[in-house]
Amino acid sequence: MKKKYLILPSVLLIIFIVLALIVKVSPTLSIDNSVSNFILSHQNNYLLNFSKIIGIIFDTIPMIVLSLIISVFLFIKSKPKEALYFASASIITGALIYVLKDLIARPRPVLQAVQETSFAFPSGHATISIVFFGLLTLFAFKHMKSKKQKILSLITSLVLILIAGLTRIYLNVHWLTDVIGGYLLGATILTTFIYFYKKD
């Protein structure tokens, strides 16, 4: 593939770095406070319980474990390239999440629906969901002949990615910009891996 296809991940990375620097220098942003206050005044038990379940399922460690299981399955199905990319992308994503959280050290919102002890930025759920569902959709596309199947698969992945991030805001365990940062980081990793995957 031409190097011009690295432009997108490069742009995404630059935007992520700018946002990371902003929240590092100024951990509390007015837009984050506004969204947090709005969420706190509109929470209900049904959505809170739903968000808690999503939070457990889409947590970084379970998603990495699931990725490794899928990678083993892909390897058994004689797809070593897909298995390698899926496993390595998930592990690298998980490592970056933990390193960046400690490096930026942004405090979480105070009034959390569930207690989280790690730092806030970037959202691990948002980051890992984009990488996981993005690569899963890419690999699935290769076995789909129908355009409707591809569209349905893409929409399903996008909805799950949005749910993974938005529920973290609803639980008030993340600021809005944490989730945006997670999506940016995840998209950077995803597009980079797609570039090298198609290049091989």
Query: pLDDT tens digits, residue range 133-174?
Result: 999 999 998 888 888 889 999 999 999 999 999 999 999 999
1's CB contacts (< 8 A; 6+ apart) are: 195, 198, 199
pLDDT at 128: 97
pLDDT at 46: 95
- Cα separations (Å) of 23 from 41, 123, 165, 169, 170? 24, 13, 18, 16, 20
Q: Rounded to the nearest 5 degrees, what angle is found at the Cα of 10, between the Cα atoms of 99 and 96?
A: 10
pLDDT at 121: 97
Chain centroid to Cα 95, Å, comes to 13
pLDDT at 2: 60
pLDDT at 35: 95
Measure the CA–CA gap between 87 and 194, rounded to whole angstroms: 14
Q: What is the dihedral of CA 47, 181, 3, 139, to 10 degrees?
A: -20
pLDDT at 111: 87
| 44 half-sphere exposure, CB direction, 13 A CA radius | 2
Measure the CA–CA gap between 141 and 150, rounded to whole angstroms: 6
Helix (H) or strand (E) holding 121: none
DSSP H stretches of helix in the chain: 7-25, 30-40, 45-57, 60-76, 80-104, 124-141, 147-170, 176-199
pLDDT at 6: 85
Measure the CA–CA gap between 93 and 108, rounded to whole angstroms: 21
pLDDT at 145: 82
Give pairs for 97-100: CB < 8 Å, separation 24+.
Answer: 97/60, 97/122, 97/124, 97/127, 97/128, 97/185, 98/60, 100/20, 100/185
Residues of the chain with pLDDT under 50: none
Q: Which two tokens stand for residue 162?
A: 């949005």
DSSP letter (8 states) at residue 78: T
pLDDT at 33: 95
